[in-house]
Structure 1
Amino acid sequence: MITTRDHEYRLLAWRFKQAGIANPELDARLLVQAAARCDDIEMIREPGKRLSDVEMERLRAFEARRLAHEPVSRILGTREFWGLAFEITPATLDPRPDSETLVETALELLRDSEAPAILDIGTGTGCLLIALLHERKDATGIGVDISEAALAVAARNAVANGCDGRAAFRRASWAEGIDTPFDLVISNPPYIVAGTIGTLDPEVRGFDPHLALDGGADGLDAYRALADVLPRLLRAEGHVVVELGQGQAEAVTGIFLAAGLVVCRVVSDLGLVPRALVATLPRG
């Protein structure tokens, strides 16, 4: 029986395609490489190398999980975000490329700030805060989350990405107990309408923690909670950057305006979907 890296890659890609899995070739390659514990160069250099019985057993287990719609990132336990590797677990959201829009926007806002202090509300993996600290070596930050398990993941990610000396993580609900003002508050809050979670892609509804998805009856509960605490968390001329769900820009703008914030702009992601809302406190 042929069990080479290349043969198994081609067979797995075909099976994924037949099952309607998106990106079947990429997923197959990543899983074969993970099963064989080889990198891109080794895969190209030695496509005919046979997989051992242990590697084949590992690959079949990976295949079954992917056919059950578990994302490859969760099977491997890691996701690349902003060019950095982040551990993910069932306690955390799987960071998505669209959220990089928040990092890009925040870095622009911090361009003229010296030693900025950053607060990440609902930090999850810590990807937003850690990406910012990675780019701004003079910055410090706090990540808060209601989940102790998520905070443990974020702390490990800070260590892995060399930011642990400048990042702290605390358990809190909407920054409860934190009174120090920050130059920047950033958040990717739950914003899915509760009644629609069951209609999401199986990769999301079956594997992302519902606590990090559920935005309440209209998807806006988290923004109301944020609007309540942001005025005491922002320094003069400080900014907040929050991720938006599709079609939520107008509603979130209204919530923030009612809380006394000034909405500066809404930034679209690469798919031209309004993704990041920027607000600040008025002068005086």
Structure 2
Amino acid sequence: MRIDAALAWAVAELHEGESPAVDAKVLLSHVLDKPQVYLFTWPDKTLSVDAISQYKTLVAKRAQGIPVAYLTGSRDFWTLRLATSPHTLIPRPDTEVLVEQTLSCIASAEFALEVEDNKLAICDLGTGTGAIALALASELPTANITGVDLLHEAVQLATSNAALNSITNAQFKQSSWFDNLANEKFHVIVSNPPYIEISSPFLQQGDVRFEPASALTSGADGLDDIKHIIALAPAHLLEGGLLAFEHGFDQAKAVGDLLNAHGFVNVCTEKDYGGNDRVTYGYLPTTR
């Protein structure tokens, strides 16, 4: 079977999925250990029997709904290649908006903190694969990034992803939100916490069917964990510090109201690449 024929076959097999052509290319690139451009450069290349067998197995699993990132064991995020695991959420492009906005806030006039030698202290709550923490660490090499996660497996994965990307200014520890952070304080706290309603029909659709429910759902309105973080964050933020969340497309007002109710100022919401409200942030006021 040639490469072009294999891709055509896979697209037909995956026609009921959301992105059959993309999935077909990603899986074949993975099997061949080649970049996708190779598939277009050598469409008439004949695949080995072993490659065909591996490809058919992966396509069959994808047709059952298993996420591509779990089948290949990796996902690109920001400028990084991250290993993935069924213990953690799969990094998604919209989460890059949280990284972008955090970097923008740090560079803005509202972020009035005096930071010695640019040694920002940043905490990523619920770090999962380490995607947000490592993206920030890669852009802020003088900063000290701490990522925490409830699961030991996630901490191990994020730590290995740091090594995989040669990032040395990020560390990871096991903690249920702030529980194991003692009296640590940060200039910035970011989080992509669980924010889906526990009864949401979205949980029965697409890739999320295979992702850990504990990383997706948060009470009847999806806001239990966000409420918890906002209530405790002031004790772990330096004056003038930034607290930023990714949240559901219809939760911006609720998250903004919670931030305002707990004394945060300059609260603002930014949209994702699809035009949906996705990131809301605010600053801990200064007493000076």
Q: Which TM bucket (shorter chain)?
A: over 0.9
Q: TM-score, normalised by structure 2?
A: 0.92
Measured after TM superposition, the shift of residue 236 of structure 1 is 1.4
Alignment of 1:109-188 (within 5 A): 109-111=105-107, 114-163=118-167, 165-178=168-181, 179-188=183-192
TM-score by length of 1: 0.93
CA distance in 1, matches of 2:17, 2:81: 24
Equivalent in 47, 55, 62 of residue 59 of structure 1: 55
Residue 281 of structure 1: which of 261, 265, 284 is its match?
284
1:194 is matched with: 198
- Tell me: CA distance 1:222–1:54, structure 2 relative to 1, closer, same or farther (3 Å): same
- The correspondence for 2:64, drawn from 65, 68, 85, is 68
Report the residue type matching 2:104 in the other structure. Answer: E
- Aligned equivalents of 1:130, 1:168: Cα separation in 2: 9
Question: What CA distance in whole angstroms lies between the structure 2 residues aligned with 1:144 and 1:6?
Answer: 44
Give the letter aligned to residue 79 of structure 2. G
For residues 25 and 203 of structure 2, what CA distance do their matches in structure 1 show?
29
> Which amino acid letter does the alignment assign opposite residue 256 of structure 2?
T
User: Conserved in 2, the CA contact under 8 Å of 1:95 and 1:127?
Assistant: yes
Q: Displacement of 1:274 after TM fit?
A: 1.0
Matching residue of 2:112: none
Contact preservation (8 Å) 2:260, 2:267: no
Which residue pairs with 1:78 in the alignment?
74
Q: Distance in 1 between matches of 2:216 and 2:194?
A: 4
Matched, 1:5 2:3: yes
C-alpha distance in 2, partners of 1:197/1:40? 34
2:225 equivalent to 1:227: no
Structure 1 position 45, deviation (Å):
3.1
**Contact kept? 2:256, 2:267, Cα under 8 Å:** no
- Give how far 1:198 is off: 6.1
Q: For residue 177 of structure 1, what is the amino acid of its counterpart? A: N
1:254 aligns with 2:250: no
Aligned partners of 1:238 and 1:259: how far apart in 2?
14
Deviations 1:206-237 (A, max 9, x none): 21111100111111101111012100111111
Aligned pair count reads 278
Match of 2:40 among 38, 44, 50: 44
Gaps of 5+ in 1: none
Q: Partners in 2 of 1:239 and 1:252 — Cα distance? A: 14
SS in 2 for 1:194: coil
Identity of aligned residues (%): 32
Separation (CA, whole Å) in 2 of partners of 1:132 and 1:283? 24
Asked whether the 8 Å contact 2:174–2:180 carries over to 1, the reply is no
2:268 is the counterpart of 1:265: yes
Q: How does 1:22-41 map to 2 (within 5 A)?
A: 22-41=18-37
- Give me the whole-angstrom Cα distance separating, in 1, the residues matched to 2:253 and 2:71: 37
Describe the shift of the 1:46–1:120 C-alpha distance in structure 2 as closer, same or farther (beyond 3 A): same
Correspondence 1:201-212 to 2 at 5 A: 201-204=205-208, 206-212=209-215
Mapped to 1, the partners of 2:234 and 2:131 lie a distance apart of 24
Partner-residue secondary structure (3-state), 1:59: helix
Instruction: Quote the offset at 1:263 in angstroms.
Output: 4.8
For the Cα contact (< 8 Å) 2:256–2:281, is it kept in 1? Answer: no
Q: Unaligned stretches of 5+ in structure 2?
A: 109-114
Superposed CA RMSD in Å reads 1.5
